Amino acid sequence: MLGLKLPTDPRWVNIVEKNIEEILTDHAYCEQKATSTAISLIVSFPEYTDLVKEMTALVKEEISHFKMVHDKILERGWVLGRDRKDDYVIALLKFFPKGGSRTTQLVHRLLYAALIEARSCERFRLLSEELEDQELAEFYRKLMVSEANHYTMFLGFARQYGNRKEVDQKWQELLEYEAEIMKDLSKKETIHG
């Protein structure tokens, strides 16, 4: 369903289970960055009314997810650690050339967002199925559904605002590129890394 070309190595869950505190901290910052992305799209493209409406709702949802993850951290007696760089996103954002028309920039940002949400969804599914911690597994099962909805929303907007044939071609090329990135990841207790 997600179109990902390379699934996450299931052994990644074994790495995560050795440091749940680290994955929860990384996850909290992913939710915060998703909130920031939605706000940035509103600020950058206010003339796209449909997008602004959806991003406004997304800001509320993503910040509520941040709170949910932060609450999990606190429930376990931990504190939110410091943010760290996301090697996956840094590598991903190198795919499309900078510049181009406003529409092209918007489409590229929407495609990046769709892919990040798709990979998050795939990772959450894996955590929901493989984590021994059943409470956390159920937590990720619930979040997985939201991420799938976000992925389809971003991809749908890219197809709505760009030329459908070009957008679909760019999407496939981005998926291929992402598969290459993933070959070197799945070695850390981070959502994308």
pLDDT tens digit sequence for 63-111 = 999 999 999 999 999 999 898 888 899 999 999 999 999 999 999 999 9
pLDDT given at position 175: 97
Q: What's 144's domain CATH number?
A: 1.20.1260.10
Domain for residue 3, yes or no? no
Domain for residue 191, yes or no? no
φ/ψ of 40, rounded to 5, equals: -60, -40
Q: Is 128 buried (19+), middle (13-18) or exposed (0-12) by CB count in 10 A?
A: middle
Q: Which of 59, 61, 56, 175 is nearest to 111 (CA)?
A: 175
Domain that holds residue 65: 11-185
- The set of residues, in sequence order, having a beta carbon less than 8 Å from that of 139 and lying 6+ positions away, is 68, 72
Domain for residue 113, yes or no? yes
pLDDT tens digit sequence for 103-158 = 999 999 999 999 999 999 999 999 999 999 999 999 999 998 877 789 999 999 99
Q: Is 6 buried (19+), middle (13-18) or exposed (0-12) by CB count in 10 A?
A: middle
SS3 of 73-129 = HHHCCCCCCCCCCCHHHHHHCCCCCCCCCHHHHHHHHHHHHHHHHHHHHHHHHHHHH
pLDDT given at position 44: 97
Domain for residue 67, yes or no? yes
| Mean pLDDT of the 157-166 span | 98
Q: How many CA atoms lie within 13 A of 88 on its CB side?
A: 23
Whole-angstrom distance, CA of residue 27 vs CA of residue 14: 17
Provide the domain count of the chain. 1
Domain for residue 176, yes or no? yes
